Amino acid sequence: MEDLFKIILYSFFAGVTVFLGGLLSKYFERYFQDGFVKEEILHTSIAFGGGIIVAAVALVLVPEGMNVLPLAPMAIIFLTGAIIFFFLDRYIEKKGGAISQLLAMLMDFVPEAIALGAVFGTDHNLGLLLAIFIGFQNFPESFNSYLDLRTSGYSSQKCLLILFLLSFSGIIAALLGYYLLSNMPKLTASMMLFSSGGILYLIFQDIAPMSKLKKSWFPALGASFGFLVGMIGQKILG
C-alpha cells in the first residue's frame, strides 16, 4: 500500500506540470504585449521544449530500447512509430489542426511514466528522480502545447481542460508500468522505441521549423539549453 501511494504521489507531481505549463501559457498569451519580444520568447520556448524532447529520445527512450531489443525488432518498431505519425500528422493538417507539440509531449510523457512505475518496484530513489525529471520536461512542453491547441481553434477553457485531464495520464501510465510491465522489459522497450520514431518525425517536420525566427538567434540557443536540461537529468539518474 505504501508503494502504491508513493507511485500515485510521484506520478501526480510529474504530471501536474502539464496543467501548470498550460496555465502559465494562458496568462502569457493574454497579458504579454504582442511584438518582437513576445515572438522571440514563444519561439525560444518551442525550441527549448524541443531540445528537452530530443534529450528524452536520445538519453532515455532510445538507449533503453536498444539495450533490450535485437536489431531487427528495434528497427521495425522505431520505423513503425515514425510512419504512423507521418500519416497522423498529414491527417491532422488536412483537418486544419496543429497539435504536434501535444503529440510529442504525450509520446514522451507516457512512456517515461510507464518506466517510472516499472522501475519503482526495485529502486524507489530512481523512481523519485525520474518523476522530477519528467515534471521538468512537461512544463515547457505543455506551455507550447497550449499555444498549439489555441492555433487549432480551441478555446482557452477547452485547452486548459485538455491539459488538466492529460496531467492525470501519468498516474495511469505509472500504475500500468508497476503492475503490468515491471516484468516485461521488451514490451516497455518497444513502447519507448515506437514513441521515439514518432517524436523524431514530429521534431523535424513541425516543431523545429516553428522555432526559427528571422533575425533572432535565441531560439536555437534555447534548443541547446533544453537538451542540457535532459543531460543534467540523465546524469543525476545515473
pLDDT band at 36 (very low <50, low <70, confident <90, very high): low
Query: Chain-centre distance of CA 23, in angstroms?
Result: 17
pLDDT at position 16 is 92
Of 173, 140, 153, the residue nearest 22 (C-alpha) = 140
pLDDT band at 96 (very low <50, low <70, confident <90, very high): low
CB 19 within 8 A of CB 160: yes
Enumerate residues 6+ apart whose C-beta is below 8 A from 134: 14, 15, 109, 112, 113, 116, 170
Stated as kind and residue range, the H or E segment containing 125 is helix 124-151
Q: What is the pLDDT of residues 107-128, one digit of tens each?
A: 778 877 888 888 776 667 767 7
CB 111 within 8 A of CB 215: no
pLDDT at position 42 is 76
